[in-house]
Amino acid sequence: MKRILMILAFAVSGITLLATGTPAQGPAGAGAGAAAGQKSESSHSYNPIKWIKKDKKAPEAADANSDQMAKLTARLQSQGIVADNADVKGLCNDFRELETCLAALHASHKLGLNFACMKANLTGVRTGVDTSSCRMPDTDKPLGLAKTLKLLKPDVDAKAATKDAEAQAKQDLQETRS
Q: Is residue 86 over pLDDT 80?
A: yes
Closest by CA to 123, choosing from 146, 97, 149, 105, is: 97
Rounded to the nearest 10 degrees, the angle between the axes of helix 145-152 and helix 158-176 is 130
In percent, the amount of the chain with pLDDT more than 90 equals 40
pTM, full prediction: 0.63
Measured distance CA(69)–CA(72) in Å, rounded: 5
Alpha helices in 2-138 (DSSP H): 2-20, 32-35, 59-78, 88-91, 98-111, 115-123
Measured distance CA(85)–CA(82) in Å, rounded: 8
Measured distance CA(57)–CA(112) in Å, rounded: 37
Average pLDDT over residues 6-25: 70
Average pLDDT over residues 97-125: 92
CB 71 within 8 Å of CB 176: yes
User: Predicted confidence band at 58 (pLDDT cuts at 50, 70, 90)?
Assistant: very low
